[in-house]
Amino acid sequence: MYPQMKRIFFFLLLTILTLPTLSQTDTLSVRFQVKTPNLSDSGKVYIAGNRPQLGNWHPGRVALSKDHSNSTWSLELRFARGEMLEYKFTKGKWSNEAVLEGGLVPPNNKLTVENDTTLYIEIKYWKDAFTAEVQRGITGIVNYHRRVGGTGIDPRDLVVWLPPGYEENIQQRYPVLYMQDGQNLFDPLTSTFGMDWQVDETADSLIRLQKIDPLIVVGIYNTNLRSREYSPNDTGSAYMKYVVQTVKPLIDNTYRTLPDRDHTATGGSSLGGLISFMLMWEYPDIFSKAACFSPVLKIEPYDYVSRVQQDGRRNFPIKIYLDNGGVGLEAKLQPGIEEMMATLDSIGYMKGTDFFWYLDSTAQHNESAWARRFWRPLVLFWGRN
């Protein structure tokens, strides 16, 4: 009898040990199979994403294992059914993440986990292969803050341009210009249409010529929700809170800024010009200046003129730069800009003192046109003499 009981006990023990664990039964397998023919022999491949298993967006925390082939890497992870994954691949730093041809930074990869899955990815280009070209295209020092999130808003990158002398003059503090569509400001490789605003070249030249006081420029990247984030709606309100409650404190705590409203401005073009006007109008204790290039102030379905009419004059002094071109959409935007100026005048603001307008009658609605006019608000807001 004893040997039989012993065999039964051993069988039960063996059954328990071989039962799937709770994590195995409740999770699904996702295997990443990455082919990297252009990786050096000493290189490593990492995955960074929005889950702890993916390193919570740390670029060098979760490494893939090299397979028998030197150009193939793999990693198997487990996730709950229905989890939404976002991820990218790097060689350990965001400065050498996987990119598209020409060095263009791709959007996040996405996957909703529904079944055991194997993903096959081929990476042909890495960002550091384009570093020399990028550095030649950017004048001065730029720092990147990746995947900065906020309440009710998708995370996005920030790019910070520092003025000449910033690293040498360690006691000096600087005004800050917060700009929308950050990927379009400094670098043609990240710009949506391959043409940047040349903010770095323009600001650097004016500072070195002592035409303006040195300033810091912060570019806030847009997302696929750009049109909603830059509009007068709930998403736009969430975006403005993100700028005020997340981005500005981060910048003030990281860099030597002059954080008061007199030294804080915002700027952008098109819908970015609208949300820049809104940021200054809705948060006059934070922003004293707005540079609004080709702003969508009143054109179907947008109307921010009525809001300003209803609010009346602010108790805070403001300075607004408005402009537009005269070709295509630019001409259609002009009536709304003129109506906004008439409204500002009616509630006690003076043209030439509180708000300014420039018309470039031959300009179209694009980055090249805004780049040519970018110097104007810099001189208006921070000009010397």
Residue 246, pLDDT score:
96
The residue among 119, 112, 216, 206 whose CA lies nearest residue 163 is 216
**pLDDT for position 139:** 87
Q: Distance between CA atoms of 291 and 19, rounded to whole angstroms?
A: 65
pTM of the entire predicted model: 0.67
Helix (H) or strand (E) holding 62: strand 62-63
Cβ(192)–Cβ(241) below 8 Å: no
Domains of the chain listed by start with CATH number: 27-129 (2.60.40.10), 138-382 (3.40.50.1820)
Q: What is the pLDDT of residue 16?
A: 43
pLDDT of amino acid 99: 83
At 1, the amino acid letter reads M
Is residue 208 within 8 A of residue 168, CB to CB? The reply is no
Q: Cβ neighbours of residue 82 under 8 Å, at least 6 residues apart?
A: 112, 113, 114
Q: List the chain pLDDT tens, one digit each, 385 residues.
A: 454 554 544 444 444 444 444 445 589 999 999 999 878 777 899 999 889 999 888 888 999 998 876 689 999 999 999 999 989 999 988 778 888 876 677 778 999 999 999 999 999 888 777 654 444 468 899 999 999 998 989 999 999 999 999 988 889 999 999 999 999 999 888 887 778 899 999 999 999 999 999 999 999 999 999 999 999 999 999 999 999 999 999 999 999 999 999 999 999 999 999 999 999 999 999 999 999 999 999 999 999 999 999 999 988 999 999 999 999 999 999 999 999 999 999 999 999 999 999 999 999 999 999 999 999 999 999 999 7
Give the pLDDT score at 189.
83
What's the angle, vertex CA 331, arms to CA 326 and CA 337, rounded to 5?
A: 110
Q: Residue 301 contacts by C-beta under 8 Å, 6 or more apart in sequence?
A: none
